Amino acid sequence: MKKEDFELVRTKSGDELAAVVETLTTAGVPHRVSSSQAAFDITEVGRGDYPADMMVMVSRADLHAARLALEGSFAETELPADHFLHTASDEEILEILSVPADWDPFVVVHARRLAADRDIKPAEITVKSAEQIQALEMGRPAARWHLVLGWFSVLLGGIVGMGIGYSLAYMKESHAEGEFYTYDLRTREIGRWMMWSGVVMLVVWRFILASR
């Protein structure tokens, strides 16, 4: 997967894959098809179902256009009677519509329809979306075991600890809304201390070994 590629649709259905590819091609949206199976022939698209997951990928620049095209193609479809959206709460509908890029366009189209039927206000969606973006901007704290492993690795010689510290301090995740640090500010600060402590310990251990 290319760094800036986003997974638009994942399916095992040949019919669904062919329909998505046709919709994007008609709309002039660049895309590519990949598979969780190593050997995949693009000419097989539309020739039955697949034993592995098939993913339709688009770039960040084309993501909005791709989703609009697919949502338009799903606008006239019916929601299956056994679909999970039928039993989704208002809060769950809000969760979907606050981060639509994290959901299949089919789900988003019907979630919007249900939101209108239930009189869920656009302002509620806007507030929820802002909360989701804020959570992404803040990042998450690292697991305690991750920190313990990092500091333990620093004491053992530095190199692994330096790597763990660097990942805690600078790792980012790419979302449709942008690129955000994976970890929160406190964790990133700990990561920087861990990284530089690893450098110091590496020098110390080399000095000790060289003096023997």
Per-residue pLDDT band for 133 (boundaries 50, 70, 90) equals confident
How many distinct structural domains can be found in the chain? Answer: 3
User: Which H or E run includes 33?
Assistant: strand 32-35
Query: What is the structure's pLDDT at 1?
Result: 44
127 and 148 fall within a common domain: no
pLDDT (mean) for 150-168:
88
pLDDT (mean) for 97-126:
87
131 and 153 fall within a common domain: no
SS3 for 202?
helix
The answer to whether 67 touches 24, Cβ cutoff 8 Å, is no
110 and 66 fall within a common domain: no
154 and 176 fall within a common domain: yes
DSSP class of residue 1 equals -
Domain boundary among 61, 76, 91: 76
In the structure encoding, which two tokens stand for residue 210, read together? 């060289």
Per-residue pLDDT band for 48 (boundaries 50, 70, 90) equals low
pTM summary value: 0.62
Q: Whole domain around residue 32: which residue ranges?
A: 1-76
